[in-house]
Structure 1
Amino acid sequence: MTAGIDVPDRRGRTGLDRHGRELTGNPRVRIVDVQVLSCDWSVLRKTTFDYRHGDGHWSREQRETYDRGDGATLLLHNVPCSTVLLTRQFRLPAYVNGHPDGMLIEAAAGLLEGDTAEEAIRREAAEETGRRVGEVEHIFDVYMSPGSVTERLHFFAAPYESTTAQAGETRGLADEGEDIEVLELPFLTALAMIRSGEIADAKTIMLLQWAALDGPFKNISR
């Protein structure tokens, strides 16, 4: 008996080896086998498939995919004050891959965990910034690392009212080990931090560049 396949894993999941076996949307791809390599919090699978190339010949391929579920992210903006509300927290993967201290400046974000994307981003905004979000604007949905990670990230934006007393405080869920600092930054300063490398998180860069090109700050960023 194998956890996550025949019996529940620690998150109560079974049948994790069946994911993707029935895909038929691409006639050039035939799924042969799905093997679960790990199913602790997220799921690591190795999928074997036959692929028909452009010249017509078939080859057998194997790929590992990391399934952590889909997520949502949100840019909180205040147009009258020309500010955005971001967070700073420690990210171990960035730290072990060359970031000086692993403390990344980011837009609020989190996994859906069974909620809709809008429900999830309201939840995450409240947990990470202390702000209750009303109406949100959906921007786009993006596969962030499609070579190995299945996650699709839903991007949103919403206005907030500036309250400097809340900026700089620590938030997050203590039982999940979160220690999140709230940062209120002038929008043009945040853009400059992309150029300097101080903001190096992909979703945050995408949201700030959207805000500059098509979003609420397009008139002040040019």
Structure 2
Amino acid sequence: MTAGVDVPDRRGRTGLHLTGLGLDRNPDVVVKDVELLASDWYVVRATTLDIRGSDGTWRTERRETYDRGNGATILLHDVSRRTVLLTRQFRYPVYVNGHPDGMLLETPAGLLDEDDPETAIRREAAEETGVAVGDVEHVFDVFMSPGSVTEKIHFYAAPYRRDDVDGTHHGVEAEGEDIELVELTVDEALAGIGSTVVDAKTIMLLQWAVLTGPFSR
């Protein structure tokens, strides 16, 4: 008996070894076998597939994928004051990979879990910033690390006002979150790209905001 295969894993899931079998949208790719490597919380699979190259020959490959579900992120902006509302929290993966202290500056974000993207990002914005967002704008959907991670992130933007901001720290205590609010001018945030701002989703939203978004007008 294997957790995540024929008995529930930690999150109550079974059949995790079946994902990808039967895919037929691309006639040049045939999924042959899926092996579940881990499902403690997120899911790691090793998939064996046949791929037909441009010369017509078939080759067999084995690909590992990391499945943490899909997510959403949002840029909260105040056009009148030319500010954006970001968060700062400890991220161990960046800390272990060279970030000075692991305290990453980024846009509010989180996994969808069982919610649709808009519902999820409203939830995450409230939990991480305390701001109850009104109308949201869907910006784009992006695969962030397509070589090995299945996650697709839904990008949003919404206005906020200074009066909407209450306190300096937020987060769900039961989940160990200790999130600091950081309000910057959009020019300060842009100037920090590559130094103080090194989170991909945040950089993408900032650049969108000044190229075609709220700060381009």
- The TM-score with structure 2 as length reference comes to 0.98
User: Contact 2:129–2:165 (CA<8 Å) still a contact in 1?
Assistant: no
- Counterpart residue number, 1:27: 27
Q: Give the distance between the partners of 1:132 and 1:165, measured in 2 at CA.
A: 9
2:161 aligned partner, one-letter code: E
- Counterpart residue number, 2:180: 181
Structure 1 residue 39 displacement after superposition: 0.1
Structure 1 residue 101 displacement after superposition: 0.4
Q: Secondary structure at the match of 2:209?
A: helix
- Counterpart residue number, 1:204: 202
- Counterpart residue number, 1:70: 70
Matches within 5 A, 1:95-174: 95-163=95-163, 166=166, 169-174=168-173
Q: Secondary structure at the match of 2:187?
A: helix
Structure 1 residue 165 displacement after superposition: 6.3
Q: Give the distance between the partners of 2:198 and 2:163, measured in 1 at CA.
A: 26
1:94 aligned partner, one-letter code: V
Q: Give the distance between the partners of 1:182 and 1:130, measured in 2 at CA.
A: 9
Q: Give the distance between the partners of 1:165 and 1:4, measured in 2 at CA.
A: 42
Structure 1 residue 35 displacement after superposition: 0.3
User: Contact 2:130–2:165 (CA<8 Å) still a contact in 1?
Assistant: no
2:123 aligned partner, one-letter code: R
CA deviations 1:37-93 (Å, max 9, x no partner) are: 000110000000000001111100010000000000000000011100000000000
2:110 aligned partner, one-letter code: G
Task: State the percentage of identical aligned residues.
Answer: 63
Give ranges in structure 1 of 5+ residues lacking alignment: none
User: Contact 1:164–1:184 (CA<8 Å) still a contact in 2?
Assistant: no
- The TM-score with structure 1 as length reference comes to 0.96
- Counterpart residue number, 2:18: 18
Q: Give the distance between the partners of 1:163 and 1:151, measured in 2 at CA.
A: 34
Structure 1 residue 163 displacement after superposition: 3.4
CA deviations 1:151-201 (Å, max 9, x no partner) are: 00000000001139636x111111111110001111110100115x11000
User: Contact 1:81–1:162 (CA<8 Å) still a contact in 2?
Assistant: no
- Counterpart residue number, 2:43: 43
Q: Give the distance between the partners of 2:148 and 2:165, measured in 1 at CA.
A: 41
CA RMSD, aligned part only?
1.1
Aligned length: 217
User: Contact 2:131–2:165 (CA<8 Å) still a contact in 1?
Assistant: no
Q: Give the distance between the partners of 2:216 and 2:82, measured in 1 at CA.
A: 11
- Counterpart residue number, 1:190: 189
The answer to whether residue 212 in structure 2 is matched with residue 217 in structure 1 is no
Give ranges in structure 2 of 5+ residues lacking alignment: none
- Counterpart residue number, 2:79: 79
- Counterpart residue number, 1:94: 94
Q: Give the distance between the partners of 1:97 and 1:188, measured in 2 at CA.
A: 28
